A and B are shown apart, each in its own frame.
Chain A
């Protein structure tokens, strides 16, 4: 089975722009979570989707949004980019939405905001 894939792997944007990141979960997985990883703040939870519904959201401004499609693929969008949005964005998928489910992480998208 193919693992979690994220596209693009690297991205350079300038302040004020918007960006869309994509995540394809493992086949059959219906839950997708997004995390932001920075040297200063570490790993922080952004949001979780299950069956096209956002189940949980972390403490991030409204500039961060996401969605999940019927095939479980997910996208996250960041509008009006700020320098502090530079980070590794990780996507993780799991079979269901139970908390004991193993989350399988993708390789991440490294975003640099100039």
Chain B
């Protein structure tokens, strides 16, 4: 079974600083997608960034980038120039081609200090 582990239940960052959220996963599949979702307090979950496993290049979306290490099964999220609006629960998720259900990690609660 595929599992997703986020080892940091909570993280804190100073506004304008950089923070990295960790995620590891376990799978025997070679083709899959990885995602980072953001769930602000009392607001809808939104996709932050995604990475195709077959692509070696790390995905980036503005201030958000990932460090994808396929051999190590690691998928960390880096948030640069943190803003107050980045405060949220962040979920790492995995989805394989041959099994469409999305597997989520337990989440990391990010606090941004002004």
- Which residues of A pack against B, CB within 8 Å? 3-4, 33, 35, 42-45, 48, 55-58, 90, 92, 97, 99-100, 102-108
Distance from B22 Cβ to chain A, minimum over Cβ atoms (Å):
16
B-side contacts of A57, CB under 8 Å:
101
- Residue contact B44 to A105, C-beta cutoff 8 Å: yes
- Residue contact B102 to A45, C-beta cutoff 8 Å: yes
* A44→B50 CA distance, assembly (Å): 19
* A3→B96 CA distance, assembly (Å): 26
Contact of A42 among B44, B97, B99, B106 (CB under 8 A): B106
* A35→B103 CA distance, assembly (Å): 10
Q: A42-B107, A105-B46, A106-B44 are in contact. Are A100 and B100 (CB under 8 A)?
A: no
B33 in the interface (beta carbon within 8 A): yes
Taking A35-B102, A100-B52, A105-B46 as known contacts, 12 extra A-B pairs with beta carbons closer than 8 A to each other, sorted by chain A number, are A3-B44, A33-B102, A42-B104, A42-B105, A48-B100, A48-B101, A56-B99, A56-B100, A58-B101, A92-B45, A103-B47, A105-B44
Distance from A39 Cβ to chain B, minimum over Cβ atoms (Å):
10
- Residue contact A99 to B104, C-beta cutoff 8 Å: no
